[in-house]
Structure 1
Amino acid sequence: MPKVQVNGIDLFYDIKGTGEPLLLIAGFLCDHSYWSLIMPALVSQYQVIRLDNRGMGRSSAPDSPYSIQQMANDVAALLDHIGIDSVNAVGHSMGGQIAQELVIANPEKVKSLTLLSSLAKGDARFNSVIETWGDLPQSIDLQLYEKVVLPWIFSDDFYAIPAMVEQLIEWAVNYPFPPAPHTLYYHSRAILASDTKDRLQHIHCPTLILVGRQDILTPVKFSQQLAQGIAKAELVVIDRGGHGFLIESSDTVTSAMLKFLAQLPCPMN
């Protein structure tokens, strides 16, 4: 699996499938593997491009501040490197913030936008949670950190499934490419500093906004703000699942994404 040098770092990426390019950008605490459950359905129809944001997975993790715009610049440089002029861009949570900056700065590179559990700017409670998530890795181990974070990610129904959360924690603790504490700090501060609410009108491509009704981290009102600010936006609220609905309700999320993509104009030959 390849890496490319962009903006002073080594950026890991993965390409699978054939067809029209579909770019997937993961969020906080996640790398390209976060999309694994929906990959089979996507690669059957699209050329799917995933990456590890700077600081995550197998990408470089410089010990210096990161910004959402900087990570969007990383993505733009990756697309240039692999020779892709235009993509359907998908971002989850922080990845949705990155995708917004990507299309605002490079509208010609983004044919459509899908924002999953994302936001333009957080409110006071969200900011407090994210600030804490950035500070805690300096003080506690990864297992305890996951126990703190996951209640904000998954719904009551998911927690009721026997041993499911324990399995996720075990997977995270044993994952061979865990994030460094400084990465989580810098990512948290990048999220807090990001604000697109007054620039959403610069997003002109067709946009799907998906959110779980039980999302308590980026609640439905955040997605409503995105939908109100983006001219060609469609808002879909999924009844089952919280912030982690890519895991809780992967089939439903995938179906909504594919339906939206199928309705887009066919690319010119």
Structure 2
Amino acid sequence: MPKAKINGIDLFYDIKGAGEPLLLIAGFLCDHTYWSLLMPSLISHYQVIRLDNRGMGRSSGSDNPYSIKQMASDVALLLDSIGIDKVHLVGHSMGGKIAQELVLAYPQKVKSLMLISSWAKGDERFNSIIETWGDLSGNIDLKLYEKVVFPWIFTDEFYSIPGMIEGLIEFAIKYSLPPSTGTLYHHSRAILGNDTTERLKHIHCPTLVMVGKQDILTPVKFSEQLAQGIPNAKIVVINHGGHGLLVESPDTVASVLLNFLI
């Protein structure tokens, strides 16, 4: 399992497929496996690179505070380490924040940008949710934590599928590489400390913004703000899906990505 020594940590990455490089960055509480349901569609067209953000999955972390810019630097240095000059870049949720900082700091490394369920600056409700998720991480067990988080991620329709949520919670608590409470706290504070609103105008690569119509965590208005702020960005609203689009509607998400890229 390949790792690169980056910014004082061991950063895990995974590469599958052939073609132009396509880099996927996952969000809060997620490692590289969160993209698994999209992989069959994507690797048939692209060389797909996934990573575990610092402190997640197989990547090591630190006891120091994190920042979104720092995690973008991790990704940039990883690309240098594995000899890839330029990528198509996809980020989901916090991964979309990392992707924004990556293209702003290293525009020469990004061919195109795809932001899924992301935002430039959260409103007060969103910030309160993220702050609470960070605070709760060290005070309740993982099963209860997932029960708190999941209603913000998945739709009513998904909850109505017998056994679906229970199965996901069971998978999470049995997962061999759960996030530490420190990582979740540091990631929450990194999210709260980042605002790209006034810098979106400096993103000049082809950009797709995607969001689920039923997303209550990062609602459609957040994606509309991104699309309005990034020159010539295209926005796609998925009718059937919430924040957890990669799990609820993977085929639709993959189709939209590929239609934008090809």
Aligned ranges 1:249-268 → 2 under 5 Å:
249-262=249-262
The equivalent residue for 1:49 is: 49
The alignment status of 1:93 with 2:93, answered yes or no, reads: yes
The equivalent residue for 1:266 is: none
TM-score of the pair, normalised by structure 2:
1.00
The alignment status of 1:29 with 2:29, answered yes or no, reads: yes
The equivalent residue for 1:118 is: 118
The alignment status of 1:6 with 2:6, answered yes or no, reads: yes
Aligned ranges 1:69-218 → 2 under 5 Å:
69-218=69-218
Distance 2:257 2:240 in 1: 16
The equivalent residue for 2:59 is: 59
- SS in structure 2 of the partner of residue 96 of structure 1: helix
**Residues 112-158 of structure 1, C-alpha deviations (whole Å, 9 max, x = no match):** 00000000010000000000000101110000000000000000000
Q: Point out where structure 1 has 5 or more consecutive residues left out of the alignment.
A: 263-269
Per-residue deviation at 1:232?
2.3
Q: Point out where structure 2 has 5 or more consecutive residues left out of the alignment.
A: none
The equivalent residue for 1:267 is: none
Per-residue deviation at 1:169?
0.3
Distance 1:206 1:238 in 2: 20
Distance 2:81 2:254 in 1: 28
Which of structure 1's runs of 4+ aligned residues deviate more than 3 A? none
**Residues 65-116 of structure 1, C-alpha deviations (whole Å, 9 max, x = no match):** 0000000000000000011110000000000000000000000000000000
The equivalent residue for 2:68 is: 68
- SS in structure 2 of the partner of residue 169 of structure 1: helix
Distance 1:68 1:88 in 2: 19
Figure out how many residues of one structure are paired with residues of the other and give that number.
Answer: 262
- SS in structure 1 of the partner of residue 84 of structure 2: coil
- SS in structure 1 of the partner of residue 208 of structure 2: strand
Per-residue deviation at 1:226?
0.1
The equivalent residue for 2:220 is: 220
